[in-house]
Chains A and B, each alone.
Chain A
Amino acid sequence: MFLQHLINALSVGAVYALLAIGYNMVYGVLEKLNFAHGDVYAVGCFVTFSLLGGMNPILAILIGCCVGFILNVGVERFAYRPLRNSGRVAPTISAVGIAYIMRNIIQLIWGAETFAFDLGIFKAGSINVGGVVIGTLQIYLFIIAVALMVIISLALKYTKWGQGIICISQNIETAALMGIPVNKVIAIVYGLGAALGVIGGLLFCQYYQFIFMGIGFAYGTMKAWMASIWGGIGSLKGAIVGAMVLGLAETMVSAYISSTYRDAFVWAIFIAFIIIRPQGMFPAQGAEKI
């Protein structure tokens, strides 16, 4: 039974990891709480959902990603950029406002109902290994999360844009003085974060085979944020490990302690952890010239 719970936990962790990668990318650059992340990408997910019936699913996913990208670039331009130098409180409030607006837009267009969801790409199935059931989709999700992490890490390390992003995450003013187009790069980071979020959100929906207007906040934002803090801000490896830890904590608490008070227990563990290690398990490493 423990092994089955462990597999379940890693599956949940893989789903959270997909959501956390996009979030961590944005959070890592500006270190500002983006409470709108999930609700913005949820719009992209719903666009894909609408297109699935009469379109190639890959094309529908790409269009959803583009919508998420454009939407978040717009949100960054008009809701975050004017508040970039206003401390932490004003952008946070602005983000919460955007989250509500996005959620209500979804409700207005698609309604508040829960819909069945299937991308039509993955063939559902399971493997039974000594009584422990592993879903094939669980395996796919884990592979996709790791692949995304590797691709993004390589892009950050070996491309001009990637280096620009890392530079801005270390110091915006210095980056600007070095000629990096700060506003443009930050806008692109937001856009990419949302596009990645759409992919994560769609895979989340595929895993649970439903979509509803609440997928953004409870999962996209809160879980991704917790995973990012747990793993280490700005670290993609940390986001994945943090997501796995979060999945493990939630599943094991549900299985062995209490599902009713699961969130309270998980938050207690989380708080205890950040008191001991506020920088997370694998914080982003930045070279510092002394």
Chain B
Amino acid sequence: MKNKLKKVVCSLLVASLALAMAGCSSSGDTADTSADTSSDASEAETSADSGDTIRFALMSPMTGDAAATGAQQDNGVKLAVEAINAAGGVNGKMLEYDVFDDQANTNQAVICGEKIAADGNYRFVVASNSSGCSQAAYPALEAAGIPLVSGVNTADFMTNQGFSMYMRICVKDSAQTEQLVAAAVEAGYTKPAIFYTTAETDTTNFQLATQFLQDNYGIEVVESAQIQPETEKDFAAHITNFRDAGADCVFFFSEYSPAALFIKQASTLGWEDYGRYSSAGCSNPQLIEIAGADVAEGFISVSSFVADKDNADGEKLDFIDNYVELADVDPGEWAAGAYDVVCMMADVLSNEEAADLTGQELVDWIKENETYQGIMVDIDIDENGDNSAATIVQQIVSDGVWKEVQ
């Protein structure tokens, strides 16, 4: 009798869990869809692209080690949706979005892509933070005729392989790295070391930087270290090696967290007299928070977006203020990129000519006709899907905040 009762209780528990998981899906609510962090989102009720709404999807890591940047993307999208809907929507239609958690994992990204495609009611997808995830999800989306638009996919390969339904508004890695290397060399550094992670983008940046240094300036990298960001937090061995190799500057190709820990640990070990340069992944206020303002002072990065209120006005200033109110932290490139993507797509769909276009026709129309002035970058998508109007700026940590280098 007791065993039978146990079986019944277990069955009920399993059934409850299954129901709860199914209920994790987003409702596509216009005001707040950020609570949905499940890749099962599209299994929810799909109210379809009704006459009153325009639905789109956001692919982003909402759980796992990259969840912090995923949260930024989600917040950026949320602010854009709220602003557009508050202003009357797109030709009267409200924007709705669902979040698909790819966990910054390519296998999960494939599943997300397939779920979005199977839903059949999304006009476009805001791409994942990770270029690799966007690449993994793309085939399913292309087959379903859903454009994939990215705010922050910087890997060169994304627009080198004929992805006709893919567009991005950010500057690609090679351009960022070339500018970063030039900045360090112009500052007089001749013995660079490179600290990078196993992520594909960071590994590519390491190769590009090594190549640019050698080909353009005849400079050899004196030491390098590749780290596993998920399992390695102690960089004392690398710091010792860099210092003993005589490095006078370090390039960081990583997210903000490993770079912040590196400079902080280097400071503890008494190594502070070296230049610090990073790709856009580090241009985040949290680098300063983790490393400490004193240690981070003088850190240089390149990015398309700086939350520098002294050099912001209009919509950009409003975005920074609203973001701080929402998330209690300054926005980074992930948030601004996602915001711009949604605003640009809303602008496109508000145009009479493009309002009813879908799939490849919509992408082609954007490439031919759309120009948009975003808070992060101006947008003019070229034939390959790159943003020919995008620019990057140098930024430096000064008095505890990121400042645009004038």
Which A residues have a C-beta under 8 Å from some C-beta of B?
A: 1, 4-5, 8, 11-12, 15, 104, 107, 111-116, 124, 126, 128, 133, 135, 208-210, 212, 214, 218-219, 250-251, 254-255, 259-260, 262-263
Give complex CA distance A164, B385 in Å.
69
Are B228 and A263 within 8 A (Cβ)? yes
CA distance A210 to B263 in the complex (A): 13
Interface contact B237-A114, CB-CB below 8 Å: no
Residues of A within 8 A of B240 (CB): 1, 4-5, 8, 255
Contacts of B268 in A (CB 8 A): 124, 126, 133, 135
The residue among A8, A12, A114 with the most chain B CB atoms within 10 A of its own CB is A114
Kindly state whether residue B185 has any CB partner on chain A within 8 Å: no
Q: Is the CB of A1 within 8 A of B237?
A: no
- Chain B hits for A116, CB < 8 A: 289-292
Whether A255 touches B67, Cβ cut-off 8 Å, given contacts A116-B292, A135-B268, is: no
Give a binary string over B230-258; 1 marks a CB under 8 Å from any A CB, 0 the rest. Answer: 11111011101100100000000000110
CA distance A254 to B232 in the complex (A): 10
Chain B residues whose C-beta falls within 8 Å of the C-beta of A260 in the assembled complex: 198, 226-228
Using A113-B286, A116-B290, A116-B292 as known contacts, say yes or no to A254 and B237 having CB atoms under 8 A apart.
Answer: yes
CA distance A260 to B195 in the complex (A): 11
Considering the chains assembled together, what is the distance between the CA atoms of A130 and B386 in angstroms?
54
Q: In which size bucket is the chain B interface?
A: 35 or more
Decide: A255 near B237, CB < 8 A? Known: A112-B63, A124-B268: yes
Query: Are the CB atoms of A210 and B261 closer together than 8 Å?
Result: yes
A-B contact count (CB 8 A): 96
- A107 and B63: CB pair below 8 A? yes
When distances are taken between beta carbons in the complex, the residues of chain A under 8 Å from B291 are: 116
**Min CB gap B234→A, angstroms:** 5
Known: A251-B234, A251-B237, A263-B231. 6 other contacts (CB 8 A): A12-B234, A12-B236, A208-B233, A210-B257, A254-B225, A263-B228
| Distance (whole angstroms) from the CB of A242 to the closest CB of chain B | 17
- Asked if A1 contacts B244 (CB within 8 A), the reply is yes
Shortest Cβ gap from B157 to chain A (Å): 21
- B312 at the binding interface (Cβ < 8 Å): no
Give 5 nearest A-B pairs by CB, closest first. A112-B67, A8-B236, A255-B237, A254-B237, A113-B68
On chain B, the residues within 8 Å of A124 by CB distance are: 268
Instruction: A8 to B271: give the CA distance in the assembly, Å.
Output: 14
Residues of A within 8 A of B237 (CB): 5, 8, 251, 254-255, 259
Chain B residue numbers with a CB within 8 Å of A209 are 264, 290, 292
- Chain B residues within 8 Å of A133, by CB: 268-270
Assuming A11-B236, A133-B270, A218-B231, is B241 touching A111 (CB within 8 A)? no
CA distance A12 to B238 in the complex (A): 14
- Which A residue's beta carbon lies closest to that of B198? A260
User: In the complex, A173 Cα to B296 Cα: how many Å?
Assistant: 58
CB distance from B288 to the nearest CB of A (A): 9
How many Å from the CB of B257 to the closest CB on chain A?
A: 5
Nearest Cβ on chain B to A69's Cβ, whole angstroms = 26
Closest to B226 in A: A260
Q: Flag if A259 contacts B270 (CB, 8 Å).
A: no
| Separation of A221 and B234 alpha carbons in the complex (Å) | 17
Does B379 lie at the interface of the complex (its beta carbon under 8 Å from any beta carbon of A)?
A: no
What's the nearest-Cβ distance from chain A to residue B242, in Å?
Answer: 11
Contacts of B368 in A (CB 8 A): none
List B contacts of A262 (CB < 8 A).
228, 232
How far, in angstroms, from A128 to B231 measured CA to CA in the complex? 29
How far does the Cβ of B40 sit from chain A's closest Cβ, in whole Å? 15
